[in-house]
Amino acid sequence: MCRQELENIVRDVHNKFHVELAICEVFKRRWSYITGTKNYVSGRYRIGIDEKYGIIVNCEKQDVDRIKMYIKKG
């Protein structure tokens, strides 16, 4: 994925769910920040996009599955 695609995912998820998030490149256990929302500090939940990228999101537990489904459809 190019950076613009990743930034589009951040914008779409932020606008739909009103959460702060960051997209990271995944290296097994280490997640390396690429881009995120302006006010992103940290998040509680990790959601894999694919084998190379993931999202760290600061949201309520009940929203995690909804966000996962939204990303998988996108």
**Segment 32-49, tens digit of pLDDT:** 999 999 988 889 999 999
| Other beta carbons less than 10 A from residue 8's beta carbon | 13
d(CA 74, CA 41): 25
Helix axis angle, 3-17 to 61-73, nearest 10°: 130
**Segment 1-30, tens digit of pLDDT:** 788 999 999 999 999 999 999 999 999 889
Where exactly are the structural domains of the chain?
Answer: 3-73
